[in-house]
Amino acid sequence: MISAFTSTQSPTESLIARKWRTRDRAGWRNFWIAMLALSTALMLALFSAAVAEAGRTILAATAAVFALALAGWVAITIVPALAKRTSLNWIAYQVDYRLTRDGIIYLGAIFVLILAAVNTGLASRARIT
**pLDDT tens figures, 76-97:** 999 998 888 877 777 777 778 8
Query: Whole-prediction pTM value?
Result: 0.56
- Domains of the chain, residue spans: 25-90, 96-129
Question: What is d(CA 42, CA 60) in angstroms, rounded to the nearest whole number?
Answer: 13
CA distances 126 to 40, 99, 114, 117, 123, Å, are: 43, 38, 18, 14, 5
- Predicted local confidence at residue 24, as pLDDT: 79
Q: Are 98 and 43 in contact (CB under 8 A)?
A: no
Neighbouring CB atoms inside 10 A of 81's CB total: 15
- Predicted local confidence at residue 126, as pLDDT: 54
Question: What is d(CA 18, CA 102) in angstroms, rounded to the nearest whole number?
Answer: 47
- Each of the 129 residues of the chain gets a pLDDT tens digit; together they read 455 555 555 666 777 777 777 777 888 899 999 999 999 999 999 999 999 999 999 999 999 999 999 999 999 999 998 888 877 777 777 778 889 999 999 999 999 999 998 888 655 555 555
Question: What is d(CA 56, CA 64) in angstroms, rounded to the nearest whole number?
Answer: 12
